[in-house]
Amino acid sequence: MTGWLRRGGRLACAWIAAALLAACGGGVGTGGTGSEAQGPITGFGSVIVAGVTWDDTSATVLDDDGNAVVRDGNELRLGMTVEVDGTDGDAPAARTIRLDTTIVGPVASVDAAGRALAVLGQNVRIDAGTVFDESLPNGMASLRPGDSVVVYALPEAAGDGHLATRVEAAPSGAATRLRGRVSAFDAAARTLRIGALELDFDDASNVPAGLGDGMLVRVTLNLPDGRGRWSVASFGRADTPPAEGAQLRVDGLIRGYTGINGFVVNGITVDAGLATVRPVGAVLANGVRVEVRGEVSGGVLRAERLQVMGGNDGAARTYRLNGRIASVNAAQGTFVLRKTVVDYRNAEFRNGTSADLGAGDVVRVEGTLSADGARLVATRVEFR
């Protein structure tokens, strides 16, 4: 990652070096070994996943079907859940970044008081860390039953629910998709459930071997028939277990906690018995959000470091974005960057002022999410 060019030609590298060191935990590893990560994107500089800054300059971005995504500066967005495969070392580099969508489909109900959505029979919880796309300018208040949305999410600590990390309006013609665990499997009737949604898979393609209760699946759905019944058009790719010996970073909610030596994060079994836990004295329990780093051995992530983020860290998290401004609304004091609305009215500016903002400018932004998740409230804007 290169230093930013100040207006006037001077390099501003010191701040970047400090930020990179912090993001990477002081430089994770030095051997250039294989490295993987799972979790939502929490910043850019290049791209930050599971607390690590990955150089994505040469990375191939893949969609849910494994197709390469055209890179235009907006293909990766704040809050998207992704899987990263790359190299380890003092400057981790991503080889591939795979988007991992949880739900694409119509909203059945909006519970404003309970901060929850029902989408395709799935309970989707909204918290202070849920990012809403610019297509939903009022956050959750923009949604109505029948609206089609794309949801990126983490599995909840219990049951089949989801904690949304990003919500977008679905593009016209988007395939209806769902990712979740099978229940109520009936091989004779060729039916199953994901969450509260009953599905017929009689005519589905790519039915996985051993399909049954508890299996995590990705499905593309046919629209309901005349009797309102949903059916599976096809089963998507199966999850690939992390490579043995890989350095793995995971950002998610603790599930199935039985003690420091046994719990699950994003479907990965973790043993943190020898890990350095931060902050000191932090309590681990189901539902606590953590960033875990370590090596995969025997199919288990043997944690070396575990950072407790808390059950709801979104309000306190500082997010970093960089890229090219798509549009500016000077009257509202906002601009759009990587499909995220940035409120710059109270920001400190570096290498320019708010009057210099214009579409096409390349900037770096630091800030926190607004209460409704619809905007990034900038604390600093720096021109590149």
Interstrand relation of 230-235 and 197-200 (parallel, antiparallel or unpaired): parallel
- Ranges of residues in the chain with a pLDDT under 70 are 1-33, 310-316
| Residue 139 maps to a domain | yes
Domain boundary among 278, 310, 342: 310
What residues does 179 pair with on adjacent strands? 218
Range(s) of the domain holding residue 74: 4-99
Residue 253 near residue 156 (C-beta atoms within 8 A): yes
Same domain, 138 and 151: yes
Same domain, 180 and 257: no
pLDDT tens digits along 261-308: 999 999 999 999 999 999 998 999 999 999 999 999 999 999 999 999
Same domain, 335 and 347: yes
Interstrand relation of 276-278 and 268-271 (parallel, antiparallel or unpaired): unpaired
Tokens of 228: 């309102």
Residue 169 near residue 121 (C-beta atoms within 8 A): no
| Residue 240 maps to a domain | no
Domain boundary among 79, 99, 119: 99
| Residue 114 maps to a domain | yes
Same domain, 192 and 124: no
What is the reported pLDDT for 318?
Answer: 84
Same domain, 88 and 152: no
Same domain, 186 and 164: no
Please measure the distance between the N-terminal and C-terminal CA atoms of the chain and give it in whole angstroms.
13
pLDDT tens digits along 191-246: 999 999 999 999 999 999 999 999 999 999 999 988 889 999 999 998 888 889 99
CATH number of the domain that 378 lies in?
A: 2.40.50.320
Same domain, 154 and 180: no
What is the reported pLDDT for 152?
Answer: 98
CATH number of the domain that 209 lies in?
A: 2.40.50
Same domain, 24 and 93: yes
What is the reported pLDDT for 316?
Answer: 61
Amino acid 144 reads: R
Into how many domains does the chain fold? Answer: 5
What residues does 362 pair with on adjacent strands? 324
Domain boundary among 99, 126, 146: 99
Task: Give this prediction's pTM.
Answer: 0.86
| Residue 242 maps to a domain | no
Cα 75 from Cα 62, distance rounded (Å): 10
Nearest to 293 by CA among 350, 248, 354, 226: 248
| Residue 155 maps to a domain | yes
Same domain, 144 and 183: no
Same domain, 155 and 201: no
